[in-house]
């Protein structure tokens, strides 16, 4: 019977299914959880009507749920061409790109999904925020990543992936949790647990956690720098000592060199600060803090502006970089640029305040 039916379908002149029929069959197959059949039907329907946004959306979600991320990426890319302001489309395009290793586009599209009109559902937003923090760390934007992790910690989220992400950020490893070697996993998890305790606001437990981390991994790259970031606001002299310990163990740690330069400059020791700043910028030219520290230590105003612009381009959401640029532009007579940067810095400062908009 099946053979006869199949032959009947192949008879020349048999009517081809219309777009409306294929679309209805695709929706029915998706509703019945017949995933391979639904994917095939959506693809057929889209061949007849490639401007069907719902078709691209459902095809993309079916691919995403099936872990077929490259195909999902293609479907969502078509969807956002038709629905440019649809936040979920940009969000899932970014999530697919994250899985295929296209990290900069993934970050751009996830952030567009978070800011596009209409927004996304709260549970999807939480996933996006976490992936945003992972991507910022992977791309070396550690300060921005730390700011994204804070609300996740304060919501009480706590799982292995989050702890590993926090650990990589704390140690300034531009990696994803899946890239951690077995040899370093214990260190990263210990650093992540310490960072979690610190962000959760438990001061007594934080001090103990740092002491335990330093005792367990006294020579591990990044540990003394992590401790220095904790000490910077309350004990800057102790922070400087920890930065020096980090550089003794890990001379190429750009974050530590840049932070040392900024502390020395703050103390009026510009001549001592310059070598640290120069080393940081040379070791990691894509590190925005290194570019910022080097800019502040330069006497040539044009070079200062050049390196501040690099820092701002690398981390456009850091209000301090915009403020420094505003001052430099004003000194060079670029008053319109100075006004723009000052307004941007004020807006970003308000947004980063504890009670500012999220």
Domain co-membership, 115 together with 148: no
Domain end, chosen from 63, 89, 120, is at 120
- Give the model's pLDDT for residue 167: 98
Say if 88 falls within a structural domain: yes
In the chain the first and final C-alpha atoms are separated, in Å, by 63
Say if 184 falls within a structural domain: yes
The rounded distance, in Å, linking the Cα atoms of 357 and 25 is 45
Domain co-membership, 209 together with 178: yes
The rounded distance, in Å, linking the Cα atoms of 184 and 220 is 9
| Residue carrying structure tokens 């390196």 | 307
Domain residue limits at 205: 142-216
Residue ranges in the chain modelled with pLDDT below 50: 1-12, 355-358
Say if 259 falls within a structural domain: no
Say if 212 falls within a structural domain: yes
- What's the pLDDT tens digit per position in 60-86? 999 999 999 999 999 999 999 999 999
pTM across the whole model: 0.86
Say if 241 falls within a structural domain: no
Sign (positive or negative) of CA dihedral 318, 146, 234, 227:
negative
- Taking the C-alpha atoms of 332, 337, 340 and 341 in order, what is their torsion angle to the nearest 10 degrees? -50
Alpha helices in 142-251 (DSSP H): 142-154, 160-170, 182-200, 203-216, 223-231, 236-249
- Give the model's pLDDT for residue 10: 41
Domain co-membership, 175 together with 109: no
Domains of the chain: total: 2
Domain end, chosen from 181, 216, 251, is at 216
- Give the model's pLDDT for residue 351: 76
- Give the model's pLDDT for residue 214: 97
């Amino acid at each position: 019977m099946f053979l006869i039916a199949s032959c009947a379908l192949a008879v020349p002149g048999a009517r081809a299914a219309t777009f409306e029929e294929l679309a209805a069959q695709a929706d029915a197959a998706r509703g019945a959880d017949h995933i391979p059949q639904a994917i095939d039907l959506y693809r057929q329907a889209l061949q007849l009507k490639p401007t069907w946004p719902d078709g691209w959306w459902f095809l993309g979600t079916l691919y995403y749920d099936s872990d077929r991320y490259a195909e999902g990426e293609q479907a969502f890319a078509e969807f956002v061409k038709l629905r440019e302001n649809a936040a979920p489309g940009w969000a899932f395009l970014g999530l697919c790109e994250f899985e295929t290793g296209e990290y900069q586009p993934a970050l751009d599209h996830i952030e567009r999904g978070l800011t596009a009109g209409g927004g996304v559902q709260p549970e999807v937003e939480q996933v996006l925020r976490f992936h945003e923090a992972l991507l910022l760390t992977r791309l070396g934007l550690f300060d921005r990543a730390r700011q994204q992790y804070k609300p996740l910690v304060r919501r009480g989220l706590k799982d292995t992936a989050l702890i590993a992400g926090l650990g990589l950020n704390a140690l300034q490893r531009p990696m994803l949790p899946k890239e951690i070697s077995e040899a370093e996993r214990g260190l990263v998890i210990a650093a992540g647990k310490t960072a979690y305790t610190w962000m959760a606001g438990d001061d007594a437990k934080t001090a103990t956690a740092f002491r335990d981390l330093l005792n367990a991994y006294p020579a591990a790259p990044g540990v003394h720098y992590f401790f220095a970031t904790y000490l910077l606001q309350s004990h800057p002299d102790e922070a400087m000592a920890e930065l020096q310990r980090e550089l003794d163990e890990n001379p190429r740690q750009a974050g530590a060199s840049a932070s040392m330069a900024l502390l020395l400059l703050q103390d009026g020791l510009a001549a001592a600060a310059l070598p640290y700043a120069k080393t940081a910028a040379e070791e990691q030219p894509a590190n925005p803090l290194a570019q910022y520290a080097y800019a502040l230590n330069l006497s040539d105003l044009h070079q200062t502006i050049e390196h501040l612009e690099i820092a701002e381009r690398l981390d456009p959401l850091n209000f301090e970089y915009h403020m420094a640029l505003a001052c430099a532009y004003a000194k060079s007579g670029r008053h319109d640029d100075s006004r723009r940067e000052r307004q941007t810095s004020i807006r970003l400062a308000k947004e980063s305040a504890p009670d500012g908009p999220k």
